[in-house]
Amino acid sequence: MRLDKYLAHATGLTRSRAHGMIRSGQVTVNGAVVKIIGHKLKPDDEVVWREQSVELSGKRYIMLNKPEGVVCATHDAVHKTVLDLLGDEGKKGLHVAGRLDIDTTGLVLLTDDGDWSHRITSPKHGCSKTYRASLAEALAPSVVEQFAAGIELRGEAKKTRPARLELLSPTEVRLTLDEGKYHQVKRMFAALGNRVVALHRERIGSVALDESLLPGQWRELSDEEVAALTA
């Protein structure tokens, strides 16, 4: 993690104030003054500010392999939620950073860090999402260019942003989006007269779903994965 991000998260300082503290020589790493705000910290580095060791608060960052039939909600009176999969103790204070429909499977991120989840979900940051979709009808190769040019969706004034479509077979594709309109993947294919029959999210930004996680299983993100999603 960058030194400025670490200091801001660990102390509650704004990013600009953290920059000032670092540049003025008030921060040391392993006993040496570091004035480079983008200095990359190693897991065992000791950061000291105003003669006090600073550590990150116990924020939690989780990836989960969502099964079909589970909803991305904090509470639901009818369906099991992704938080229910963590157990009563494990889900305290967490929320979903980027929802999936009940019939969509794959990568879901959960956290208690509101700033971090905002960076992932806010349209202005353009955090990409990659999906694998199975379709009812075969696709022509020309649709790759259509997705790259943007698709006109019903009820939308503008085309979608350019999307990257990879044909895996006539009826199976990998699609990467840089935005997250309501039911966007399904609506894009519907606009071309096709229908999504199965949808699975493989990746958010540079972080891919851990292949060792079975549906319903989860694990904590590594420090590198947490940092990569807000770099």
Residues labelled as active-site residues:
101
Can you tell me which residue has the tokens 């600073």?
A: 54
Spatial neighbors of 180 by CB under 8 A, at least 6 apart, are: 98, 121, 123, 129
> How far from the centroid of its chain's Cα atoms is residue 113's Cα?
12
| CA dihedral sign, ordered 148, 172, 197, 101 | negative
Cα–Cα distances in angstroms (integers) from residue 126 to residues 9, 70, 116, 149, 189, in the given order: 22, 26, 14, 17, 21
Residue position matching structure tokens 């770099």: 231
Are residues 3 and 27 in contact, defined by beta-carbon separation less than 8 angstroms? yes
Calpha distance 221→210 (Å, rounded): 10
Provide the 8-state DSSP code for 85. Answer: G
Asked whether the beta carbons of 185 and 175 are under 8 A apart, the reply is: yes
